[in-house]
Amino acid sequence: MGQNGEMKQHDAIVIGGGLVGAAIAYGLAREGLDTALIDEGDVAFRASRGNFGLVWVQSKGVGAPHYQRWTRLSAAEWPKLAAELGQRTGVAVGLEQPGGVQLCLGDEEFAGRQAMMEQMRTEAGNFGFEYRMLSHDELAETLPGLGPEVTGGSWTPYDGHVNSLYLLHALHKGFVERGGTYLPNRTVDYAAAQPHDFRLGSGADEIAAPRIVLAAGLGNAALAPLFGLSAPVRPQRGQILVTERSERIWPIPLGSLRQTLEGSIMLGSSEEEVGFDTGQRPEVMQAIAARAVRTFPWLAELQIVRAWSALRVMPPDGKPIYDESEKFPGAFTANCHSGVTLAGAHANAFAPMVAAGALDPMMLPFSARRFDIPQAAE
């Protein structure tokens, strides 16, 4: 019991109100479950507020066809999710899915990219994977001012981008409008787990439910063992630069470059192993800007108006972790480094599985049990 002796029973609890938790909580509420979303709040790591906003498919799941399919499923669900959020909340999340191009500097990058895309196609099997490697000249027709160092790029029709701050806002708004209970500024500091019976304390409140989803980003690493789960995620820092607004010039997102609907150009994003350090480093920012200018020399004319860093939620092998607890059935966890891209899957596929009480067998390869490698015989 909480200090006031009050205990509120729900159908489901989600811990973590970032993009992953908010998408799942929204999906659960839409399934008709009385859901509580408990969130520490906008503190510290800010992955859901400081990301790049890509709905990016073309590089996801190399060597892991299940992850490729999951990402494709999410991209396919995205238009429905965006339209539904727009209708229900009045928040236009700015989804555009015109396809995307990853630009390559030099022959080596181009050859490496081509090999990767071909591997994706082979691994897709009958599911299919449409891509094209485009030459400099082909790209220059649609991308004015393309720098001479750009040798070409990979294109797929599946990619897109979105305003991820509006997305987070819309998911929260939609969740509450669907009858969800949002409990902000609460850090989960107490948990009692029994099969299909989970009780959480935070301050004076106690809430209980037969289902719980751990979606607390980097907080999942500490929370998971309380529920017989494992979520060995680590922080990976990303820094992003944003230019002043300019005329809208690119018809598609370009991987580490994208132009927002408002006209700002986002340059990103680094991948740094610096633990929980949320600082910014001039040399990293310079490297991001230098690559952007090699790609489009005219970018040097634009002022950088903002820059920030945020921490990704990174599983050991870079692929998402979804799991359900064997010890405490009813407890689930969701962890990934592409919470924007996967929002469609989280709201429209993962949440219905949780509501139904079990993950679909297609989710088995995502279990953290893949990290339980038996000790090699000495």
Rounded to a whole number of angstroms, the minimum distance from the CB of residue 107 to ligand FAD is 27
Binding mask 48-67 for ligand FAD (x = CB under 6 A): x-xxxxx-x-----------
Q: Compare residues 276 and 371 and give the one whose CB is closer to ligand FAD.
A: 276
Binds ligand FAD by CB under 6 A, chosen from 310, 347, 354, 368? 310
Contact 68, 61 (CB under 8 A): yes
Q: How far apart are CA 81 and CA 93, in angstroms?
A: 10
Kindly tell me the sign of the dihedral angle through the C-alpha atoms of 368, 339, 287, 272: negative
Judged by CB under 6 A, the stretch of 73-81, 172-180, 319-327, 338-346 that binds ligand FAD is: 338-346
Binds ligand FAD by CB under 6 A, chosen from 217, 315, 320, 344? 217
Contact 100, 341 (CB under 8 A): no
User: Is position 340 an interface residue for ligand FAD (rule: CB under 6 A)?
Assistant: yes
The number of CA neighbours under 13 Å toward the Cβ of 236 is: 17
What phi, psi does 106 have (nearest 5°)? Answer: 90, 160
Taking each helix axis as running N to C, give the angle between helix 19-30 and helix 164-177, from 0 to 180 degrees, rounded to the nearest 10: 30
Give the bridge partners for 199, in sequence order: 192, 208
Q: Compare residues 313 and 368 and give the one whose CB is closer to ligand FAD.
A: 313
User: Is position 151 an interface residue for ligand FAD (rule: CB under 6 A)?
Assistant: no
Q: Compare residues 113 and 346 and give the one whose CB is closer to ligand FAD.
A: 346
Nearest to 287 by CA among 223, 240, 355, 236: 240
Rounded to a whole number of angstroms, the minimum distance from the CB of residue 126 to ligand FAD is 26
Residues 225-264 close enough to bind ligand FAD by CB under 6 A: 238, 240
Binds ligand FAD by CB under 6 A, chosen from 24, 29, 35, 39? 39
Q: Compare residues 35 and 269 and give the one whose CB is closer to ligand FAD.
A: 269
Q: Compare residues 65 and 308 and give the one whose CB is closer to ligand FAD.
A: 308
User: Is position 10 an interface residue for ligand FAD (rule: CB under 6 A)?
Assistant: no
Judged by CB under 6 A, the stretch of 18-26, 172-180, 347-355, 367-375 that binds ligand FAD is: 18-26
Applying CB under 6 A, the site for ligand FAD has a residue count of 42
Binds ligand FAD by CB under 6 A, chosen from 10, 13, 14, 18? 18
User: Is position 320 an interface residue for ligand FAD (rule: CB under 6 A)?
Assistant: no
- 10: Cβ contacts below 8 Å, ≥ 6 apart: 33, 34, 35, 36, 181, 207, 208, 209
Rounded to a whole number of angstroms, the minimum distance from the CB of residue 295 to ligand FAD is 17
Nearest to 97 by CA among 256, 211, 227, 258: 258
**Which phi-psi region, left, alpha or beta, contains residue 228 (left: φ > 0; alpha: ψ -120 to 50)?**
left
**Could you give the residue ranges of the DSSP H alpha helices within 298-368?**
343-345, 351-356
Q: What is the 3-state secondary structure (H, E, C) of 134-147?
A: EEHHHHHCCCCCCC
Rounded to a whole number of angstroms, the minimum distance from the CB of residue 141 to ligand FAD is 26
Q: Compare residues 59 and 151 and give the one whose CB is closer to ligand FAD.
A: 59
Q: How far apart are CA 332 and CA 254, in angstroms?
A: 35
Can you read off the two tokens belonging to residue 96? 């555009």
Residue type, 23: A
Rounded to a whole number of angstroms, the minimum distance from the CB of residue 13 to ligand FAD is 11
Q: Compare residues 22 and 151 and give the one whose CB is closer to ligand FAD.
A: 22
Residues 166-205 close enough to bind ligand FAD by CB under 6 A: 187-188
Task: By CB under 6 A, name the binding residues for ligand FAD.
Answer: 15-21, 38-41, 43, 45, 47-48, 50-54, 56, 187-188, 215-219, 223, 238, 240, 269, 310-313, 336-341
